[in-house]
Chains A and B, each alone.
Chain A
Amino acid sequence: MLYAVLIPLLIACFIPYLSKFKDKIHTGIFVLFVPLSIFIYFLQFIDTNFVPVAQGYSWIPSLNISLDFYLDGLSLLFVLLISGIGTLVTLYSIFYLHKSERLGHFYVYLLMFMTAMLGVVLSDNVFVLYTFWELTSISSFLLIGYWHYRERSRYGALKSMLITVFGGLSMLGGFILLTIITGSTSIQEMISQTDVILNSPYLPLVMTFIFLGAFTKSAQFPFHIWLPDAMEAPTPVSAYLHSATMVKAGIYLIARFSPVFSAYEWFFIIVSGIGIITLCWGSYMAVRQTDLKGILAFSTISQLGMIMTMLGFGTKAAAFAAVFHILNHATFKGSLFMVAGIIDHETGSRDIRKLGGLMTLMPISATLALFGTFSMAGVPLPFLNGFYSKEMFFDVSLDLSSTSLFIAEIMKTSIPYLAVLGSIFTFVYSMYLFFGTFTGEKHLDELPSKPHEAPIGMLISPALLIVGVIIIGLIPNLVNEPLLAHAAKAISGEEVHKHIAFWHGFEAPLYMSLIVVIFGSILYIFRKKWTDIYLLIPGTLSLNKVYDRILDGSEKYSRKITNSYMDGSLRKYIALIMIATVLVTFTTMLTTDGFTIKTDDLAKVTVSEILIASVMVAAALGTIFARNNVAAILILGVVGFGLSVLFVLYRAPDLALTQLVVETITVALFLLCFYHLPNLRPRTESFKTKSVNAIIAISFGALMTMVAISAHSSKWFGAISEYFIENSYELGGGANMVNVILVDFRGIDTLFEIVVLGIAAFGIYAMIKLRSDKGVE
């Protein structure tokens, strides 16, 4: 199975070489065999007595991450969809994309996506699943932005990337929590530990995180907004990614974890609640679109909402209905996208207002579209698969067990009504899609090119899908036991056997279907009369506006915030640094009870010390208030010389000498520098600024004093100076202990201090001598 997953990626490495011959042979022909062989390989697994297959390959054993693949009924259904529709889409793209396009890029991205998608549905390890999940986001991003010179493509690609990666990351959070709870990274292992997970206090968090991932990927309300914008991708991509495979990854995720979560009572409320909202909102919005692919995008959103609703029910029958609809939706939606692509290709327009009356010009496409749209609408005809799954949806929505939660009760009664409502709109847009395009007046002069039937190659893929629609419609039980029963078993955790029949008596689902058809027809016929409602409702509720506002707002506010404190003023930065130091130090000292004063080991204060200290304080104050810069430097010198006198008093002759000379040289250097500088300008800051600065400075000084006192008052062990006193003559051979420490005991400090001095000297030399305005030779 490892090869089945990775072969597309391996082939993708050779695409750049193959695409060199694209003038002679279309690159897609090479690619075609990849999904086809995978499809044939997995076709062999279809069997009534199918048992899940597990295979493991080592990857990162130390992190308990291995390439574990697990093929059960659910995975098999998805794998067949991915490889089967992948084959058809590749075939279609051979005729859709002209040789002048960058075919190499296209097929590399497409194969990358194929690997990613196969990996998502086959992985048993959550982190491997996540890896492939993000690969689908990236390859989808690349495919949506395929025509990157178009602004709309870039916008759509970025939007889908941001939303799906947001979901993907939150899903990773959920996976990590699950791993912590169960101590395992395997999904099957997690399912076997369902009780542990359900009793965990992190359960709500895990579910929120994982559901965010699933809902963003599957374009559920309110994260559906990326899907309509992703329609800027080439049509084969829309047909493949945004109808049949990638958008179902979220569905797959929910279905995969359904055995774990469905016992939790909020599972139904969240999944079915979001699903039913998505169903209604998507189908309502689809009627409003004028772009063929726009209609199909919102239709996909609403159909995904329907599948999600069924998954939320958590019953055996609902699981079966869900997998059945996954299969049906993939067939008819894929073909509809391809037909939309054909119309776009042959007429040059996707605007349904410009199209019309194409029935006689494009009879084959019209036939295909007829079956596709009618199946999507769920028209009760015995050769359309959409009707069966819709009927099952109504059936399972009426058959929900009761729970204790009040919201769940409300939802239970309202879901059948909402399901019918959503289906009515589905009916309306399906009819609009077909009749708006293929019947009515012709506007041939408005179209960019003269419409004619598509080449045969382009029609093969949608025709095969429609054949699939009809076969499933005519003999629905063909796929029942070998495929769907196993898939439903993987979701619900128990054996599911169901017989699909077109006719099952005069019962509620049939009446609901009839209501849908009757009301839908009425609404479609009088469509023009009520389209004005759209100007009111989505106009104020548009989620795109919210998205744009969030995006623009975050950019605007982050810029504002950055500008507010990064204004380039060094004074402000210093003030911020000092405030931060004061706050952090003060809180730390306060919370750890750090302020202490001990007076028992203090030395006696002598008169000379007081005298020198007061001179130094006076000089320091003088420096602050000095109005002349030379005066300020000289007064500052007093502080330095006072310090050297203090060193003398405290019996540090080396320090005193060094301080004396260094102070002299610093003062001289200051004077040298200030000779070149203009005179100090009188300080013009407002009183407020001055007092704020004063407060910061005083609090900083006070805090440092307190820290120093506290540090002095809490000595925990004796000094190591005893060692130096004893050994400086014995080991270092010198009587000057300071010097012995500097050059012997701690010589490395000295070594690097002279390096620092050297760097400073060369720095000054370079700054002065090598100025660019001096004209370096």
Chain B
Amino acid sequence: MIRANDLILRTTTILIAFILFGFSIYLFLAGHSAPGGGFIGGLMTAAAIVLMYMAYGYEAMKKIIPVNYQNLITIGLAIAVLTSIGSFVFGEPFLSQTFEYFHLPVLGEKELATALLFDLGVYLTVIGVTMTIILSIASDR
């Protein structure tokens, strides 16, 4: 197949992908207090990566983001399980979450929740799952 010169697509992709990345990270971090969370954040990140794949092709993307998405699923699940088990250390039941307000140097009074770590596991798993599925199907000939 002869590839058309899709300069406009590639240029806009750079812009849009970064906006998408930013938005997805916002969704992920804001999830505890505003609409969003690990699941939708992960999907959004995956969408950004897919967009880049569409614009730049499989070979190029493997160099740009050298991530094995199957490993990402494993890592995500491991984080989710380990943070759940972590509550045992404090003598609490499985999957107990807690939160505390900290005074951080630059950001000021902020809340940090252990739920965010669990959500990180969800986030990584969702990215891994989505990318694995799409790349497996798309690269199948």
Q: Could you list which residues of chain A lie within 8 angstroms of chain B, going by C-beta atoms?
A: 653-654, 657-658, 661-662, 664-665, 668-669, 672-673, 676, 732-736, 738-740, 742-744, 747-748, 750-751, 754-755, 757-758, 760-762, 764-765, 768-769
B19 on interface, CB distance cutoff 8 Å:
no
Question: Smallest CB-CB separation from B43: which chain A residue?
Answer: A661
Which are the 9 A-B pairs with shortest beta-carbon distances? A733-B99, A653-B35, A734-B32, A735-B33, A761-B129, A761-B132, A754-B125, A661-B43, A743-B115
In the assembled complex, the CB of A640 is this many whole angstroms from the nearest CB of chain B, namely: 14
Complex CA–CA separation, A594 to B34 (angstroms): 41
Contact between chains at B118 and A661 (CB < 8 Å): no
The answer to whether B125 and A736 touch across the interface, beta carbons within 8 angstroms, is no
Stretch of B2-10, B59-67, B72-80 on the interface side: B72-80
- Tell me, yes or no, whether B109 is within 8 Å of chain A by CB: no
Q: Is the CB of B37 within 8 A of A743?
A: yes
**Does the CB pair A743–B36 fall under 8 Å?**
no
A742 and B80 alpha carbons, distance in the complex (Å) = 13
| Chain A residues with CB under 8 A of B80 | 750-751, 754
Contact B130 A665 (CB under 8 A): yes
In the docked arrangement, what's the CA distance between A757 and B84, Å? Answer: 18
Complex Cα–Cα for A769 and B126 (A) = 20
A-B CB contact pairs (8 Å), 6 listed: A658-B39, A754-B76, A754-B80, A757-B73, A760-B129, A760-B133
| B25 CB–A CB distance under 8 Å | no
CB pair B115–A744 under 8 Å, yes or no, is yes
What mask results when residues 73 to 93 of chain B are scored 1 for a CB within 8 Å of chain A, else 0?
110110011001000000000
Which residue on B lies nearest to A652, using beta carbons? B35
Q: CB within 8 A of A743: which of B43, B111, B119?
A: B119
Shortest CB distance B78–A (Å) = 11
Residue of A nearest to B128 (CB): A761
Q: How far apart are B99's CB and chain A's nearest CB, in angstroms? A: 3
CB distance from A671 to the nearest CB of B (A): 10
In the assembled complex, B47 has its CB within 8 A of some CB on chain A: yes
Given A733-B111, A733-B115, A768-B137, 19 other A-B residues pairs in contact with their CB atoms under 8 A? A653-B35, A654-B40, A661-B47, A732-B113, A733-B98, A734-B32, A736-B37, A739-B31, A744-B97, A754-B77, A754-B122, A757-B129, A758-B73, A758-B77, A761-B73, A762-B70, A762-B132, A765-B70, A765-B132
Complex: A88 Cα to B84 Cα, angstroms: 75
| In the bound complex, CA of A743 to CA of B80 (Å) | 10
Docked Cα-Cα span, A761 to B99, in Å, equals 32
Give Cα A676–Cα B73 distance, bound, in whole angstroms.
27
* A768 partner residues in chain B, CB cutoff 8 A: 136-137, 140
- Given A669-B133, A672-B138, A658–B40 Cβ distance below 8 Å? yes
Question: How far, in angstroms, from A739 to B29 measured CA to CA in the complex?
Answer: 11
Q: How large is the interface on B (under 10, 10 to 19, 20 to 34, 35 or more residues)?
A: 35 or more
Q: Shortest distance in angstroms between B57's beta carbon and chain A's nearest beta carbon? A: 16
Give the contacts of B9-47 with A (CB-CB under 8 A).
27, 31-40, 43-44, 46-47
In the complex, chain B residues whose CB is within 8 Å of the CB of A676: 140
* In the bound complex, CA of A69 to CA of B77 (Å): 63
Establish whether residues B37 and A764, one from each chain, have CB atoms under 8 Å apart when the complex forms.
Answer: no
Q: Check A764–B137 contact: CB distance below 8 A.
A: yes
Bound Cα distance A744, B81 (Å): 13
Q: What's the Cα separation between A762 and B76 when bound, in Å? A: 14
Are the C-beta atoms of A743 and B122 separated by less than 8 Å? Answer: yes
Assembled-state Cα–Cα distance A744/B77 (Å)? 16
A669 to B84, CA, bound (A): 32
Provide the bound-state CA to CA distance between A754 and B121, in Å: 9
The interface centre, meaning the residue of A664, A732, A760 with most chain B CB atoms within 10 A of its CB, is A732
Q: Given A739-B31, A740-B115, A760-B129, are A732 and B81 also a contact pair (CB < 8 Å)?
A: no
Q: How far is the CA of A758 from the CA of B132 in the complex (A)?
A: 9
User: Known: A669-B137, A743-B38. Contact between A758 and B128, CB under 8 A?
Assistant: yes
Chain A hits for B70, CB < 8 A:
761-762, 765
Asked if residues B134 and A736 are in contact (CB atoms below 8 Å), the reply is: no
Bound together, the chains give a CA A519 to CA B99 distance in angstroms of: 108
Known A740-B32, A755-B77, A757-B125; contact A665-B111, beta-carbon cutoff 8 A = no
Say yes or no for B94: interface residue by CB 8 A criterion: yes
Q: How far is the CA of A739 from the CA of B94 in the complex (A)?
A: 18
Query: In the complex where A744-B115, A747-B97, A762-B73 touch, is A735 in contact with B36 (Cβ < 8 A)?
Result: no
- Can you name the residue of chain B whose Cβ is closest to the Cβ of A771? B140
In the complex, chain A residues whose CB is within 8 Å of the CB of B73? 757-758, 761-762
Instruction: List chain B residues, Cβ under 8 A from A654.
Output: 35-37, 40
CA A754 to CA B75, docked complex, whole Å: 12
Q: What's the nearest-Cβ distance from chain A to residue B132, in Å?
A: 4
B125 vs chain A, min Cβ distance (A): 4
> Which residues of the partner chain B approach A735 to less than 8 Å between Cβ atoms?
32-34
Per the bound structure, the CA–CA distance linking A751 and B73 in Å amounts to: 13
Residues B129 and A743 in contact, CB atoms below 8 Å apart? no
The answer, among B37, B40, B84, for a CB contact under 8 Å with A751, is: B84
| Chain B residue contacts of A738, Cβ below 8 A | 35, 37
Complex Cα distance, B43 from A77, in Å, reads 85
A747-B84 contact given A654-B36, A764-B132, CB 8 Å threshold: yes
B37 and A742 contacting across the interface, CB-CB below 8 Å: yes
What are the residues of chain B within 8 A of A760 when measuring CB–CB? 129, 133
Chain B residues positioned under 8 Å from A669 (CB to CB): 133-134, 137
Quick one: which of B37, B95, B122 has the most chain A CB within 10 A? Answer: B37
Using CB atoms, name the residue of chain B closest to A676: B140
Q: Which residue of A lies closest to B38 (CB)?
A: A743
B46 to chain A, nearest CB (A): 8
On chain B, the residues within 8 Å of A736 by CB distance are: 31-37
Provide the bound-state CA to CA distance between A760 and B70, in Å.
Answer: 12
